[in-house]
């Protein structure tokens, strides 16, 4: 099978600005640029779950580097994410530790 688009699920529970060092910020900027410049259509959907308030500050820092088309593919949600998430992916493919059925 040919993979045409990705589905990413990122759990940022416990995120803090203190954990985001300068080198990490630079790496994230580079990774975003590579993804947008060389693989723009690979990203299908990205869910960022358990987003604490401080994550919004980090998002404000990085979102200017993300083009509008890519931003539309990103959904950020707090702890009430399961209903929306399971519209896009079967619970059997989501780790049990974040509310799915997969013991992976």
Q: What is the pLDDT of residue 102?
A: 94
| pLDDT tens column, 69-80 | 888 888 999 999
Q: What is the residue whose two structure tokens read 């993300």?
A: 66
Phi then psi for residue 50, to 5 deg, are 60, 40
pTM: 0.77
Q: What is the pLDDT of residue 34?
A: 82
Stretches where the chain sits below pLDDT 50 are none
Q: What is the pLDDT of residue 90?
A: 94
DSSP β-bridge partners for residue 11: 49
* Strand ranges, E, within 1-104: 6-11, 43-49, 74-76
All structural domains of the chain: 6-97 (3.40.525.10)
């Amino acid at each position: 099978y040919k993979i045409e688009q990705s589905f990413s699920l990122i759990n940022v529970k416990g995120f803090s600005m203190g954990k985001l060092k300068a080198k990490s910020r630079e790496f994230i900027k580079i990774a975003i640029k590579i993804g947008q410049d060389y693989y723009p259509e690979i990203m299908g959907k990205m869910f960022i779950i358990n987003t604490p308030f401080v994550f919004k500050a980090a998002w404000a820092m990085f979102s200017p580097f993300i083009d509008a088309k890519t931003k539309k593919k990103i959904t950020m949600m707090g702890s009430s994410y399961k209903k929306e998430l399971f519209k896009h992916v079967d619970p059997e493919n989501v780790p049990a530790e974040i509310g799915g059925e997969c013991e992976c």
